[in-house]
Structure 1
Protein backbone atom coordinates (compact mmCIF):
# COMPACT_ATOMS: atom_id res chain seq x y z
CA UNK A 1 0.00 0.00 0.00
CA UNK A 2 1.26 3.43 -0.88
CA UNK A 3 0.68 6.51 1.25
CA UNK A 4 1.00 10.02 -0.11
CA UNK A 5 0.71 13.01 2.20
CA UNK A 6 0.61 16.45 0.65
CA UNK A 7 -0.66 19.63 2.28
CA UNK A 8 -4.03 18.70 3.80
CA UNK A 9 -4.54 15.50 1.86
CA UNK A 10 -3.97 11.78 2.29
CA UNK A 11 -3.93 9.34 -0.61
CA UNK A 12 -3.82 5.57 -0.23
CA UNK A 13 -3.24 3.29 -3.23
CA UNK A 14 -3.76 -0.43 -2.80
CA UNK A 15 -2.49 -3.24 -5.00
CA UNK A 16 -4.92 -5.91 -6.18
CA UNK A 17 -3.73 -8.26 -3.43
CA UNK A 18 -4.21 -5.56 -0.79
CA UNK A 19 -7.73 -4.84 -2.05
CA UNK A 20 -8.50 -8.57 -1.73
CA UNK A 21 -7.01 -8.65 1.79
CA UNK A 22 -9.10 -5.62 2.77
CA UNK A 23 -12.23 -7.26 1.34
CA UNK A 24 -11.70 -10.47 3.29
CA UNK A 25 -10.27 -9.24 6.60
CA UNK A 26 -11.50 -5.66 6.80
CA UNK A 27 -8.02 -4.27 7.35
CA UNK A 28 -4.76 -3.75 5.50
CA UNK A 29 -1.73 -2.00 7.00
CA UNK A 30 1.87 -1.09 6.29
CA UNK A 31 4.71 0.03 8.54
CA UNK A 32 7.47 2.55 7.87
CA UNK A 33 10.45 2.29 10.24
CA UNK A 34 11.75 5.74 11.14
CA UNK A 35 14.36 4.56 13.63
CA UNK A 36 15.73 1.40 15.25
CA UNK A 37 13.11 1.09 18.02
CA UNK A 38 9.58 -0.27 17.37
CA UNK A 39 8.03 2.94 18.72
CA UNK A 40 9.94 4.87 16.04
CA UNK A 41 7.70 3.68 13.25
CA UNK A 42 4.59 4.86 11.46
CA UNK A 43 1.81 2.37 10.81
CA UNK A 44 -0.81 3.38 8.28
CA UNK A 45 -3.93 1.36 7.67
CA UNK A 46 -7.23 1.14 5.87
CA UNK A 47 -9.93 -0.36 8.05
CA UNK A 48 -13.57 -1.28 7.59
CA UNK A 49 -15.80 0.34 10.21
CA UNK A 50 -19.44 0.18 11.23
CA UNK A 51 -19.78 3.96 11.12
CA UNK A 52 -21.79 5.72 8.43
CA UNK A 53 -19.02 8.19 7.56
CA UNK A 54 -15.42 7.93 6.50
CA UNK A 55 -13.13 8.87 9.40
CA UNK A 56 -9.42 9.22 10.15
CA UNK A 57 -7.70 8.52 13.44
CA UNK A 58 -4.12 9.17 14.50
CA UNK A 59 -2.32 8.27 17.70
CA UNK A 60 0.69 6.37 19.01
CA UNK A 61 2.36 6.32 15.60
CA UNK A 62 -0.68 4.91 13.79
CA UNK A 63 -2.72 6.60 11.07
CA UNK A 64 -5.96 4.80 10.19
CA UNK A 65 -8.52 5.60 7.53
CA UNK A 66 -11.82 4.02 8.58
CA UNK A 67 -14.25 3.23 5.78
CA UNK A 68 -17.98 2.58 6.24
CA UNK A 69 -18.74 -1.11 5.67
CA UNK A 70 -21.21 -0.47 2.84
CA UNK A 71 -18.72 1.69 0.95
CA UNK A 72 -15.94 -0.85 1.53
CA UNK A 73 -18.10 -3.69 0.20
CA UNK A 74 -19.11 -1.76 -2.91
CA UNK A 75 -15.56 -0.60 -3.64
CA UNK A 76 -14.00 -4.06 -3.29
CA UNK A 77 -16.63 -5.91 -5.33
CA UNK A 78 -17.05 -3.56 -8.30
CA UNK A 79 -14.81 -1.93 -10.88
CA UNK A 80 -15.04 1.38 -9.00
CA UNK A 81 -11.42 2.57 -8.90
CA UNK A 82 -11.58 4.83 -5.87
CA UNK A 83 -13.49 7.02 -3.50
CA UNK A 84 -12.82 10.29 -1.76
CA UNK A 85 -14.11 12.47 1.02
CA UNK A 86 -13.28 15.79 2.61
CA UNK A 87 -13.31 15.85 6.41
CA UNK A 88 -13.32 18.94 8.55
CA UNK A 89 -10.68 18.13 11.17
CA UNK A 90 -10.88 21.57 12.77
CA UNK A 91 -12.53 24.86 12.00
CA UNK A 92 -11.47 25.91 8.50
CA UNK A 93 -9.16 22.88 8.19
CA UNK A 94 -10.37 20.39 5.59
CA UNK A 95 -8.56 17.08 5.12
CA UNK A 96 -9.05 15.43 1.74
CA UNK A 97 -8.92 11.63 1.70
CA UNK A 98 -8.51 9.65 -1.52
CA UNK A 99 -8.38 5.83 -1.64
CA UNK A 100 -7.67 4.12 -4.95
CA UNK A 101 -6.97 0.74 -6.47
CA UNK A 102 -3.44 0.67 -7.90
CA UNK A 103 -4.05 -2.04 -10.49
CA UNK A 104 -1.86 -3.10 -13.37
CA UNK A 105 -2.88 -1.83 -16.77
CA UNK A 106 -4.84 -4.47 -18.64
CA UNK A 107 -5.22 -4.31 -22.40
Structure 2
Protein backbone atom coordinates (compact mmCIF):
# COMPACT_ATOMS: atom_id res chain seq x y z
CA UNK A 1 0.00 0.00 0.00
CA UNK A 2 1.33 3.38 -0.94
CA UNK A 3 0.96 6.37 1.35
CA UNK A 4 1.26 9.92 0.11
CA UNK A 5 0.99 12.90 2.42
CA UNK A 6 0.97 16.41 1.04
CA UNK A 7 -0.20 19.38 3.08
CA UNK A 8 -3.65 18.40 4.40
CA UNK A 9 -4.14 15.50 1.98
CA UNK A 10 -3.69 11.84 2.85
CA UNK A 11 -3.75 9.39 -0.09
CA UNK A 12 -3.72 5.60 0.08
CA UNK A 13 -3.27 3.46 -3.06
CA UNK A 14 -3.81 -0.27 -2.83
CA UNK A 15 -2.55 -2.97 -5.20
CA UNK A 16 -4.81 -5.78 -6.39
CA UNK A 17 -3.52 -8.15 -3.68
CA UNK A 18 -4.05 -5.51 -0.99
CA UNK A 19 -7.61 -4.89 -2.21
CA UNK A 20 -8.28 -8.64 -1.90
CA UNK A 21 -6.82 -8.65 1.62
CA UNK A 22 -8.98 -5.66 2.57
CA UNK A 23 -12.07 -7.32 1.07
CA UNK A 24 -11.46 -10.48 3.08
CA UNK A 25 -10.25 -9.24 6.44
CA UNK A 26 -11.51 -5.65 6.49
CA UNK A 27 -8.03 -4.30 7.13
CA UNK A 28 -4.74 -3.81 5.31
CA UNK A 29 -1.64 -2.48 7.05
CA UNK A 30 1.83 -1.37 6.01
CA UNK A 31 4.84 -0.20 7.99
CA UNK A 32 7.76 2.09 7.22
CA UNK A 33 10.83 1.44 9.39
CA UNK A 34 13.08 4.40 10.14
CA UNK A 35 15.35 2.66 12.63
CA UNK A 36 15.71 -0.44 14.77
CA UNK A 37 13.09 0.02 17.46
CA UNK A 38 9.29 -0.03 17.30
CA UNK A 39 9.25 3.65 18.24
CA UNK A 40 11.08 4.35 14.97
CA UNK A 41 8.40 3.12 12.59
CA UNK A 42 5.20 4.41 11.07
CA UNK A 43 2.31 2.02 10.59
CA UNK A 44 -0.57 3.03 8.38
CA UNK A 45 -3.78 1.13 7.78
CA UNK A 46 -7.08 1.12 5.95
CA UNK A 47 -9.84 -0.45 8.05
CA UNK A 48 -13.46 -1.25 7.31
CA UNK A 49 -16.22 -0.55 9.80
CA UNK A 50 -18.46 -3.34 11.01
CA UNK A 51 -21.74 -4.26 9.35
CA UNK A 52 -24.17 -2.64 9.58
CA UNK A 53 -22.51 0.74 9.77
CA UNK A 54 -23.74 2.35 12.94
CA UNK A 55 -22.50 5.89 12.89
CA UNK A 56 -23.32 8.38 15.55
CA UNK A 57 -25.20 11.53 14.58
CA UNK A 58 -22.77 14.08 13.15
CA UNK A 59 -20.00 11.47 12.93
CA UNK A 60 -17.89 11.62 9.79
CA UNK A 61 -18.36 8.59 7.52
CA UNK A 62 -14.63 8.36 6.81
CA UNK A 63 -12.51 8.80 9.91
CA UNK A 64 -8.81 9.12 10.60
CA UNK A 65 -7.25 8.00 13.83
CA UNK A 66 -3.74 9.25 14.53
CA UNK A 67 -1.41 8.41 17.37
CA UNK A 68 2.37 8.61 17.41
CA UNK A 69 3.64 6.00 14.97
CA UNK A 70 0.24 5.01 13.58
CA UNK A 71 -2.37 6.33 11.15
CA UNK A 72 -5.63 4.46 10.52
CA UNK A 73 -8.22 5.46 7.94
CA UNK A 74 -11.58 3.87 8.80
CA UNK A 75 -14.35 3.66 6.20
CA UNK A 76 -17.96 2.52 6.61
CA UNK A 77 -18.80 -1.05 5.65
CA UNK A 78 -21.12 -0.05 2.78
CA UNK A 79 -18.59 2.33 1.23
CA UNK A 80 -15.79 -0.25 1.51
CA UNK A 81 -17.95 -2.96 -0.01
CA UNK A 82 -19.06 -0.80 -2.94
CA UNK A 83 -15.46 0.22 -3.62
CA UNK A 84 -14.12 -3.34 -3.51
CA UNK A 85 -16.92 -5.01 -5.46
CA UNK A 86 -17.30 -2.52 -8.32
CA UNK A 87 -15.12 -0.86 -10.93
CA UNK A 88 -15.07 2.30 -8.80
CA UNK A 89 -11.41 3.35 -8.77
CA UNK A 90 -11.48 5.44 -5.62
CA UNK A 91 -13.30 7.64 -3.21
CA UNK A 92 -12.57 10.87 -1.41
CA UNK A 93 -13.78 12.53 1.75
CA UNK A 94 -12.96 15.77 3.55
CA UNK A 95 -12.64 15.41 7.32
CA UNK A 96 -13.33 18.72 9.10
CA UNK A 97 -10.58 20.01 11.38
CA UNK A 98 -10.40 22.90 13.82
CA UNK A 99 -10.17 26.47 12.50
CA UNK A 100 -12.18 25.67 9.33
CA UNK A 101 -9.44 23.41 7.96
CA UNK A 102 -10.04 20.05 6.29
CA UNK A 103 -8.07 16.85 5.87
CA UNK A 104 -8.66 15.40 2.38
CA UNK A 105 -8.69 11.60 2.35
CA UNK A 106 -8.24 9.78 -0.98
CA UNK A 107 -8.35 5.98 -1.28
CA UNK A 108 -7.63 4.49 -4.69
CA UNK A 109 -7.07 1.22 -6.49
CA UNK A 110 -3.54 1.07 -7.88
CA UNK A 111 -4.13 -1.66 -10.44
CA UNK A 112 -1.41 -0.50 -12.84
CA UNK A 113 1.28 -0.94 -10.21
CA UNK A 114 4.04 -2.98 -11.85
CA UNK A 115 7.20 -1.59 -10.31
CA UNK A 116 6.98 -2.67 -6.66
CA UNK A 117 10.46 -3.02 -5.27
CA UNK A 118 12.30 -1.76 -8.35
CA UNK A 119 14.14 1.48 -8.80
CA UNK A 120 14.62 3.06 -12.18
CA UNK A 121 17.59 5.31 -12.54
1:35: which partner in 2?
35
TM-score (ref. length: structure 1)? 0.93
TM-score (ref. length: structure 2)? 0.82
* Structure 2 residue 105 is matched with structure 1 residue 73: no
Aligned length: 105
* Structure 2 residue 28 is matched with structure 1 residue 25: no
Structure with the higher strand share, 1 or 2 = 1
Q: What RMSD, in angstroms, separates the aligned Cα atoms of the two structures? A: 1.3
2:92: which partner in 1?
84
Runs ≥4 in structure 1, deviation > 4 angstroms? none
Could you tell me how far 1:90 is from its partner in structure 2?
1.6
Deviations 1:56-103 (A, max 9, x none): 000131100001000000000000000000011222110000000000
Matches within 5 A, 1:4-19: 4-19=4-19
Mark the runs of 5 or more structure 2 residues left unpaired by the alignment: 56-60, 114-121
Matches within 5 A, 1:48-67: 48-50=48-50, 51=53, 52=55, 53-67=61-75
Mark the runs of 5 or more structure 1 residues left unpaired by the alignment: none
User: Counterparts of 1:89 and 1:24 in 2: how far apart (Å)?
Assistant: 32
User: Counterparts of 1:91 and 1:68 in 2: how far apart (Å)?
Assistant: 26
